[in-house]
Amino acid sequence: MADQRYTIQQLAQEFGVTARALRFYEDKGLIAPARRGQTRVYSDRDRTRVRLVLRGQRLGFSLEECREIIDMYDPRQAGSARQLLRLCDKIREHRADLLQKLRDIEATLVTMGEVEAKCFAELLKSDVNVRKAG
């Protein structure tokens, strides 16, 4: 199960992106697949990071922000207490950012519901009119 390997096309198809995108993410330091010769060989860790990149992108983070966040999460050496405190600060920042997005989404969903309700009401009215006309 573990230690699965993937070609660039396999990952690209799985995530619905192009090979070009994956190479671009590598250029930007988001992933670092192994090489067999000059050919890229992607591991499960790379796959996970790609998944996180796309998740970050859906949330409107730039690739640079994605890299920061993903590196944050990546199980690495703990670092000094100073580094750990900085990490906590960054988490707080990103959490605040996410909570803002949550509020934005909730507000938008509420408005959507209202518009939808008005829409249904209008449809009912026109339906009634159609019946009257019919």
Burial class (CB in 10 A: 0-12, 13-18, 19+), 23: middle
Shortest distance (Å) from residue 38 CB to a second copy:
34
Mark 1-40 with x for binding to DNA (rule: CB under 7 A) and - for no binding.
------xxxx------xxxxx-xxx--x--------xxxx
**Can you give the length of the chain in residues?**
134
Other CB atoms within a 10 A radius of the CB of residue 85 amount to 11
Number of residues that bind DNA (CB under 7 A): 21
Contact assessment for residue 63 and residue 28, using Cβ atoms and an 8 Å cutoff: yes
94 lies in the site for a second copy, by CB under 8 A: yes
Residue placing its CB nearer to DNA in the complex, 20 or 92: 20
111 lies in the site for a second copy, by CB under 8 A: yes
Among 7-15, 17-25, 34-42, 82-90, the segment contacting a second copy (CB under 8 A): 82-90
100 lies in the site for DNA, by CB under 7 A: no
CA distance 58 to 15: 13
Q: Which residues contact 2 (CB under 8 A, 6 or more apart)?
A: 44
CA distance 99 to 105: 10
CA distance 46 to 128: 57
127 lies in the site for a second copy, by CB under 8 A: yes
Residue numbers of the site for a second copy (CB under 8 A)? 55-61, 69, 72-73, 78, 80-81, 84-85, 87-88, 91, 94-95, 98, 100-102, 104-105, 107-109, 111-112, 115-116, 118-120, 122-123, 126-127, 130
